[in-house]
Each structure stands twice: as C-alpha cells, then as structure tokens.
A and B are shown apart, each in its own frame.
Chain A
Amino acid sequence: EADIYQTPRYLVIGTGKKITLECSQTMGHDKMYWYQQDPGMELHLIHYSYGVNSTEKGDLSSESTVSRIRTEHFPLTLESARPSHTSQYLCASSMPPWAGGADTQYFGPGTRLTVL
C-alpha cells in the first residue's frame, strides 16, 4: 500500500484564480511526477522531479509550475486557471534504480479540477 496524498480531492474555481495542488508522500521516494488525465482517460506526464531542487517538464506542455523544496512534497501551481485546465491531476512517486528501488510508480488519489 502506497502512502501518497493529494489535496484537495475536488476543486471548483473561477477563471483567473491562482491554485496550488498539493502532493505529499511518506515513503522517502526520490522521484515524483504529475500527470494530467483528460476525460478520454489518456494520461499525460506534465512534470517530474528526480529529487530536491530538481524539476523537469514532461511530455505534455503545461502552463503549470512545480517546486521540490522537500523530498516528500511536490506541489503544482497554476498562476491563472482557465477552463482548458479542467482535468484530473494525478501525483505519483517512485524510488529509482540508482537509489536502490524498482522505479515502480505509486499514485495518489488525484485532484479533480473544474475551472468555470
């Protein structure tokens, strides 16, 4: 059982608001990820991090930003939310092989964001 948490689970906000989606894990995993999942089910990697002070862009261009100041925390921020940002956002973490892990990703419960 993975210990990875996301808050809020559901968020409905108006256009132009700044929002931060929280993700925390208690497994000491080095690597963390953010995925965006559209209603058609497909998962898109938007950000990942190898560890503290590391952030990388994923395969899908995103207007969001991330930070990694602590190992366990990987928040995602949208400076000005738009309806096109409406989606489910999933956070994951893994212990990469160079750190002695199998690199299996464990996912949080997700945040379902609706921008009006």
Chain B
Amino acid sequence: AQKVTQAQTEISVVEKEDVTLDCVYETRDTTYYLFWYKQPPSGELVFLIRRNSFDEQNEISGRYSWNFQKSTSSFNFTITASQVVDSAVYFCALSESTGANNLFFGTGTRLTVIP
C-alpha cells in the first residue's frame, strides 16, 4: 500500500537559516512519481517539483533543493537562506504508475519563518 509520511508537523526557523523538510514514502510500484507542493496562507496549492523513480539526481532551483534517495525511500526538501515568504504548509505527495495515478499526500509540514 502507498503511504507518504511527513513526520515534522510544524517547524519554525529564523530568517536566513536553512531548513530541511522530510518526506518518507512507501510504495510497491517500481515506477512512481514524487511531488512537493507549497500552500501559502491564501490556500492554493502551488506545484514545486515532480521527480520520477528512475531519476535520483538531486535538483536545485534557486534557494530550493531536493534530495531523492531510493535506498531510504526519502525525498527531502531543503530551503536555503529562508525568507518570510517561505512561510507556508508544504506537502509531499506520491503517484503510482498503476491504478488511477492519483496523488497520495502526506499530512503536510507547516513552516514558519520568523523575521
């Protein structure tokens, strides 16, 4: 059965600190996709990244970076030099190649960046 675990419910950091949001997943599929979404206070979910299970290269986009490790079934998200605008709830999600291809979301991590 598929499952996504975000053990950190809430994190607070001071502006300019680095922060890592953890995501651990479970799936029996060999082909799957992992996602991160950001939900700011306005409520909309904003797509950040999609990785497939065959691509373990880490990715960097500005202050954001993602570390995908199949050996530990983890897809962690790091924000470097955090800013107040990064305050949001962040969701990790999994989509399997079989079945309905729907997203299974983690329970989210609320990040608060203190100025």
Binding site for B on A (CB under 8 A): 2, 33, 40-43, 45, 48, 56, 58-59, 88, 90, 92, 96-97, 102-110, 112
Contact = CB atoms under 8 A, between A and B. Distances in A.
Contact of A41 (B35, B44, B89, B102): B89
A97 B101 CA distance: 9
Interface residues of B, number: 22
29 contacts: A33-B102, A41-B39, A41-B89, A41-B107, A41-B108, A41-B110, A42-B105, A43-B108, A45-B103, A48-B102, A56-B100, A58-B102, A59-B102, A88-B43, A90-B44, A90-B45, A92-B45, A103-B33, A103-B95, A103-B101, A104-B35, A105-B35, A105-B47, A105-B103, A106-B47, A108-B44, A109-B42, A110-B44, A112-B43
A92 to B, nearest CB: 8
Interface of B is mostly: strand
B50 interface: yes
B91 interface: yes
A80 B97 CA distance: 37
Contacts of A90: 43-45
B47 A104 contact: yes
Contacts of A2: 47
Contacts of A104: 35, 47, 50
A55 to B, nearest CB: 13
B43 A45 contact: no
Interface in B25-56: 33, 35, 37, 39, 42-47, 50
Contacts of B39: 41
Contacts of B108: 41-43
Contact of A96 (B44, B50, B91, B101): B101
Contacts of B105: 42-43
